[in-house]
Amino acid sequence: MYMKVEDLDVYQKLCVLHIEICDLAHKWPAEERYELGSQVRRSSNSSPAQLAEKNDDRHIKNKIEGVNRSRGEAAETIHHLYIAKLKSYITDSVYLSYKKRYQECIRMLNGLEKTLEQKLPEKERRWP
C-alpha cells in the first residue's frame, strides 16, 4: 500500500525538528550564520528531505537508501548540536533534549528500514 511521505510519523517529527533547529540557530552569533548555523540547518532539513526524495521511488532498495541517508543526516545534526553545546551556544539540557528527539527518529527510521526490507527477497535482507 502506498503511503504519502507526509503521513509518515518520522517525517513529520523531522520536519518539526528542522523548523525548531532553524529558530535555534538564528540566535547564535552572526559569525556562525554561514558556518555551524548553516550546517545544522542544512543537515536538519536534509533528514526529512531524503525520505521525501526516495518515498516515490518504485525500487525498495532505493527507498531503503533514502532511509539510511535520512538517518545519517539526523546523526550529523546531533553532531552539530554537540559542537554548539561545546561553544556554549546552547545549554546541556537543550542539547540533550534535541539529542533524545533525534535518537527517537533514528529508532523510527530503523523500524522503517526493517519494514521495507521485508519486501525484499530474503537473501537480499540485511536484517534477520
Q: Is 35 helix (H, G, I), strand (E, B) or coil?
A: coil
Q: How confident is the model at residue 71, as a pLDDT? A: 98
CATH at residue 98: 1.20.1440.60
* DSSP state, residue 8: -
pLDDT in tens, the chain (128 residues): 457 999 999 999 999 999 999 999 999 999 998 899 999 999 999 999 999 999 888 899 999 999 999 999 999 999 999 999 999 999 999 999 999 999 999 999 999 999 999 888 888 777 66
Single out the residue of 38, 54, 39 nearest to residue 109, CA to CA. 54
- Residue 125 located in a structural domain: no
* Domain containing residue 101: 5-120
- Residue 75 located in a structural domain: yes
- Residue 34 located in a structural domain: yes
Q: How confident is the model at residue 128, as a pLDDT? A: 64
- Residue 126 located in a structural domain: no
Strand ranges for the chain from DSSP E: none
How many independent structural domains does the chain possess? Answer: 1
Q: How confident is the model at residue 62, as a pLDDT? A: 92
